[in-house]
Amino acid sequence: MGSSLQLFLALSLAMAAILLLGRLLLSWWVMPYLAYRKLKSNGFSGPKPSFPLGNLNDMKKLKNTDSTSSSLSTISNDIHSTAFPYFSQWQKSHGKVFIYWIGTEPFLYIADPEFLKQMTADIKGKNWGKPNVFKYDREPMFGNGLVMVEAEDWVRHRHTITPAFSPANLKAMSSLMVDSATNMLDRWTGLINSGHPEIDVEREIMSTAGEIIAKMSFGMCYETGTKVFEKLRDMQITLFNSNRYVGVPFGKFLNPRKTLKAKALGKEIDALLRSIITDRSSKPSTGEPEKDLLGVLLVENTVDGRKKRALTTEEVVDECKTLFFAGHETTALALTWTLLLLGLHPEWQNQLREEIKEVLGDGKMIDATKLGGLRKMGWVMNEVLRLYPSAPNVQRQARQDIQVDKLLFPTAPTFGSMLFP
């Protein structure tokens, strides 16, 4: 009896091991190789992948080579080659449209506006989706927030959030923005006067933007906002670390420490935001809902005769994470690049100073309704966003086969359009 049981267990373990190996063989080599052959026969070129990592090793090597060879003494507007040296090199070899692989996931790189226009001309919105590989990978940071949901859920989330960014609301919050920016500039003045000529401008602006988002959108105190901000930054570093195996089936198990750290940080941030939501919800109602982002997210609507929120508590937490992270970083990066370019072109500093005096006066009291009159400021910001877009690419996953001329792009793979000039 004992020997029969041992034999049964041994056979069961052997079968489980064979099934696991078979699944690994299929997901790591067989299926991606067949997909690679199909895409190649459909007319797509690109760097040759090495499964199961695809082109991840090539991307890492080219990035490291570029970072060691590039010089910080020269400033170039060709940020695309600096930030994405692998795309720049592959574009020279394969043109502005090619396939590359993140793990076993194929991505179509598009830097040709005409090709993109043809590709999307007859495709309805429902036939595009957010890339599954990033949904799974970045779940601790964004959850089911606006940047990850799609279709009817996206419409519901967008409809709920939009009122928080009405012109009237933004105008009412302008004094908070001015206060935080003034405090930052006063801090810089103090540092310079005390003999510190160098200031980490990016870090300062990032911190100030985070403070503004915390106050304006969620009514957080400085300490709580800083705590959430620091944990989100720590998660960003963890999630975007180059040693991770994004797109590789079972890749999370290849680097368990990073995976567990990201999950732990996600839970800590969720708990912090949930406590803020609970405190806000438990406050006695004054009859008029607060008009910041959190107040808008917590508004209850009458559905089937019952009061019900448009978003669940978990969805509210995810939107808070999404807006806190995406809202402060994109703004801060754009402002940092703006200051760099103005430093390189002092003649534009003078023109902007003159325009501000002309439109806003002495600057002691800023009328938000007059900001639209800063035409030259708008030119400068548009040029900064053209040269250094805060979101350098847009990625979508095809939900149906797409034909462009003789090229057939099948369902499931992701395409990304680059926004650099």
In this predicted model, what pLDDT tens digit does every residue of 387-401 receive, in sequence order? Answer: 998 888 888 887 777
User: Looking at the structure, do residues 300 and 376 belong to the same domain, yes or no?
Assistant: yes
User: What pLDDT shows up at residue 302?
Assistant: 42
Residue 74 lies in a domain: yes
Q: Name beta bridge partners: 300.
A: 309
User: Looking at the structure, do residues 300 and 410 belong to the same domain, yes or no?
Assistant: no
Cα→Cα distances 220→131, 200, 213, 396, Å:
32, 25, 9, 34
Task: Name the least confident of 63-77, 159-173, 201-215, 316-330.
Answer: 63-77
Residue 56 lies in a domain: yes
User: Looking at the structure, do residues 296 and 243 belong to the same domain, yes or no?
Assistant: yes
Q: What is the CA radius of gyration of the chain?
A: 25
| Euclidean distance between CA atoms 360 and 371, whole angstroms | 8
Residues 151-170 pLDDT 10s = 888 888 888 888 878 888 77
- Its domain, for residue 365, covers 157-387
User: Looking at the structure, do residues 276 and 364 belong to the same domain, yes or no?
Assistant: yes
For 281, phi then psi, to 5°, come to -65, -30
Q: Which residues contact 110 (CB under 8 A, 6 or more apart)?
A: 96, 97, 116, 119, 415, 416, 417, 418
| Euclidean distance between CA atoms 232 and 132, whole angstroms | 22
Greater confidence (53 vs 291) lies with 53
| Euclidean distance between CA atoms 87 and 93, whole angstroms | 10
Give me the helices (H) in 162-195, please: 167-193
Cα→Cα distances 167→97, 157, 170, 368, Å:
40, 19, 5, 10
Judged against a pLDDT cut of 90, whether residue 380 lies above it is answered with yes
User: Looking at the structure, do residues 359 and 322 belong to the same domain, yes or no?
Assistant: yes
User: What pLDDT shows up at residue 278?
Assistant: 84
Residue tagged 């800023």 (tokens): 366
Mean pLDDT of 253-271: 83
Residues 307-360 pLDDT 10s = 566 788 888 888 888 888 777 788 899 999 999 999 999 999 999 999 999 998
User: Looking at the structure, do residues 373 and 405 belong to the same domain, yes or no?
Assistant: no
Q: Which residues contact 126 (CB under 8 A, 6 or more apart)?
A: 151, 399
Greater confidence (384 vs 136) lies with 384
| Euclidean distance between CA atoms 317 and 87, whole angstroms | 35
User: Looking at the structure, do residues 186 and 273 belong to the same domain, yes or no?
Assistant: yes
User: Looking at the structure, do residues 34 and 174 belong to the same domain, yes or no?
Assistant: no
CATH number at residue 318: 1.10.630.10
User: Looking at the structure, do residues 174 and 88 belong to the same domain, yes or no?
Assistant: no
Greater confidence (27 vs 50) lies with 50
Predicted model pTM: 0.81
Residue 369: both structure tokens together:
């309704």
Residue 6 lies in a domain: no
Mean pLDDT, rounded, of the chain: 81
Residue 75 lies in a domain: yes
Q: What confidence category does residue 81 fall into, taking pLDDT thresholds of 50, 70 and 90? A: confident
Residue 139 lies in a domain: no
Residue 406 lies in a domain: yes
For 249, phi then psi, to 5°, come to -55, 135
Specify whether the backbone of 370 is left (phi greater than 0), alpha (psi in -120 to 50) or beta.
alpha
Q: Where are the beta strands (DSSP E) in 324-391?
A: none
User: Looking at the structure, do residues 288 and 185 belong to the same domain, yes or no?
Assistant: yes
Q: Where are the beta strands (DSSP E) in 92-229?
A: 97-102, 105-110, 128-129
* Overall domain count for the chain: 2
Residue 63 lies in a domain: yes
Coil vs helix vs strand at 419: coil
User: Looking at the structure, do residues 110 and 185 belong to the same domain, yes or no?
Assistant: no
Q: What confidence category does residue 124 fall into, taking pLDDT thresholds of 50, 70 and 90? A: low
User: Looking at the structure, do residues 360 and 410 belong to the same domain, yes or no?
Assistant: no
